[in-house]
Amino acid sequence: MTPVDAAPFTLRNVSGKLRDGIDVLDRELDAVPLRTVLDNGNRTATRKGRTTAWGSMRTKPVDWFCFQSGDDDTTDWYPQGVTCASDAGVADPAFLVSWYWRPEEGERGARVSALDPETGKYQHILLVKPEEGGSFGPIDIHAGGIAWYGTTLYVADTVRGLRAFSLERILDMRTGRDDVGDKTKIGRHGGALHAFGYRYIMPQTGMWQVETRGPRFSFVAVDRSGERDLLISGEYTDGPGGELGRVARWPLASSGALDASGAAVDAFRMPGHRIQGALSHEGTWYFSQTAGARGNGTLIVTRPGEKVTARPYPVGPEDLTCWREKKTVWSVAEFPGRRALFAVPL
């Protein structure tokens, strides 16, 4: 890893246009805490279930969850981002996993699965963009990384920057009725709200947009190990030729917001191509590197200016998060039929 100029990663807060639509939704739909969503989980992940995600790894991860049928094998939705309560500074254990809609037609946008590691129960929450008048639509992004800090969820928007959502604004589509609306519709139709049949939605509350186009935002993580907590994001590059991607970090306020200046405090050239996730903790960096659907990935571990260590990793690793109390790094395997949320030691 080598330092690079952090100035290109300066972000600008452009959240103002979202306010009107959010206010209308707040008046019509009840907000529920994340714990309610977890308790109402309508799916079950199997802890340490059977999976082919490990490929040729001789030593299995220390812990993992396998998504249930219909999520494990769907070719419509692909998991990408992962974050946990430890990132947020929340004592109640939980994971959030982002998925993007892959088909070119019938856009469904992006969703987040809220998973309770104590029970394995989980539920999907649809991410939506509020519109004036109190309607909303799907958010057509890759959602390659997510980071939960305080009550804010940051979601990577590859070319624009970082979208922000509030965990205090998980809205219940069953408010005042016995159903969740039409599974084929999104937004307001004839005065009624619909969200493709999802019970819970999370409207976008903020947008941090890169000032100058160029940097890409492929993954997101949180570093809570220094004097000041930092948000991390960086760039996926295909390789094998060309420049390696960069990773940058921004200071976080105790409120969960990025520092008002939007300026990154540092940036580095990463030690490899095809990086799907990056995490810094106590001065050490961890990078998840994919080899596609047929080969094992690599967990690259290093410190700036020092030698790189390559550890065997599952097939199709994505974003990274740290469960600090358990001293583990978690990721999610993305490919159909071998999807798992898994942990290895720091």
User: What CATH number is attached to the domain comprising 113?
Assistant: 2.115.10
Mean pLDDT of all residues in 28-56: 97
Q: Using a pLDDT cut of 90, give the percent of the chain over it.
A: 90
Q: Is the dihedral of CA 135, 138, 141, 144 positive or negative?
A: positive
Count Cβ atoms below 10 Å from residue 165 Cβ, excluding itself.
24
User: Cα(253)–Cα(257) distance, rounded to whole angstroms?
Assistant: 5
Q: Is the dihedral of CA 220, 221, 227, 228 positive or negative?
A: positive
Q: Which are the contacts of 13, defined by CB distance < 8 A and separation ≥ 6?
A: 206, 207, 208, 258, 260, 262
pLDDT of 341 reads 99
- Say if CB 183 and CB 199 are below 8 A apart: no
Q: What is the dihedral of CA 316, 322, 323, 324, to 10 degrees?
A: 150
pLDDT digits (tens, 9 = 90+) for 134-187: 899 999 999 999 999 999 999 999 999 999 999 999 999 999 999 999 999 999
pLDDT digits (tens, 9 = 90+) for 227-274: 999 999 999 999 788 899 999 999 999 888 998 899 999 999 999 999
For tokens 């604004």, the residue is 169
Quote the number of domains for the chain: 1
Domain membership of residue 22 as a residue range = 2-345
Q: Is the dihedral of CA 90, 92, 93, 94 positive or negative?
A: negative
pLDDT of 16 reads 81
| Chain centroid to CA 253 | 20
